[in-house]
């Protein structure tokens, strides 16, 4: 991590630069979110520590369950392939065949004539036209140049 305190001092006004380095760190560094500075609020967070060690913990030196522990008995009783660290198997080497992408249907032509009732697959009958909702409000039309007042009164 870098110490960017000198950059912060040069960017601030005289009222904060008069605090000095220690005063600046107490006043500003606790509020700073610059991940590159070692004094900022976000430096050394648990998330950064986790991300820094993620490759080692998950890929280089993963922890495996102790087969003699009764805690993991339901998991260990399942049929699993025993894989040692460094012996990972890629999908291509395991003989799994990945299906080729499904061919997409051609795009429909524009301006194609469609019957009024629509096109029914398999010769089925089109549905009966829906009846207008008797509870629906009548549509309101506003003529050009009308004044529309939004809200109550």
Q: What is the pLDDT along the chain (153 residues), one digit of tens a residue?
A: 688 777 777 777 776 667 777 887 888 888 888 878 888 877 777 887 888 888 888 888 888 777 788 888 887 787 766 666 555 545 555 555 444 555 566 666 667 677 776 777 777 877 777 788 888 888 888 888 988 888 876
Q: Alpha helices of 56-126 — where are they, by DSSP H?
A: 73-76
pLDDT for the residue 65: 73
Q: Is residue 18 assigned to a domain?
A: yes
pLDDT of residue 66: 79
Q: Is the pTM above the cut of 0.85?
A: no
> In 3-state terms, what secondary structure has residue 2?
strand
* Per-residue model confidence (pLDDT) at position 30: 80
Q: What is the pLDDT of residue 105?
A: 65
Predicted confidence at residue 39, as pLDDT, reads: 82
Facing residues of 2 across strands? 37
> Within 10 Å of residue 107's Cβ, how many Cβ atoms?
6
| Any domain includes 52 | yes
Structurally, how many domains does the chain consist of?
A: 1
Does residue 120 lie within any of the structural domains? no
Residue 32 placed within a domain: yes
Q: Is 15 within the bounds of a domain?
A: yes
Range of 46's domain? 5-66
Residue 152 within a domain: no
pLDDT at 82: 67
Residue 101 lies in a domain: no
Structure tokens belonging to residue 148: 């529309």
62: in domain: yes
C-alpha of 1 from chain center: 28
């Amino acid at each position: 991590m870098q110490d960017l305190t000198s950059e912060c001092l040069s960017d601030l006004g005289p009222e904060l630069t008069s605090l000095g380095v220690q005063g600046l760190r107490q006043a500003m560094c606790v509020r700073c979110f610059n991940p590159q500075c070692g004094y900022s609020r976000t430096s050394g967070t648990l998330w950064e520590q986790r991300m820094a060690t993620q490759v080692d913990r998950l890929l280089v030196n993963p922890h495996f369950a102790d087969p003699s522990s009764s805690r993991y008995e339901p998991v260990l009783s399942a049929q699993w392939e025993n894989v040692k660290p460094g012996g990972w198997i890629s999908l291509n080497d395991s003989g799994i065949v990945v299906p080729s992408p499904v061919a997409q249907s051609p795009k429909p032509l524009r301006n194609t004539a469609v019957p009024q009732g629509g096109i029914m697959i398999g010769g089925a009958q089109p549905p009966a036209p829906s009846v207008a909702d008797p509870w629906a409000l009548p549509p309101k039309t506003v003529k050009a140049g009308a004044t529309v007042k939004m809200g109550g009164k």
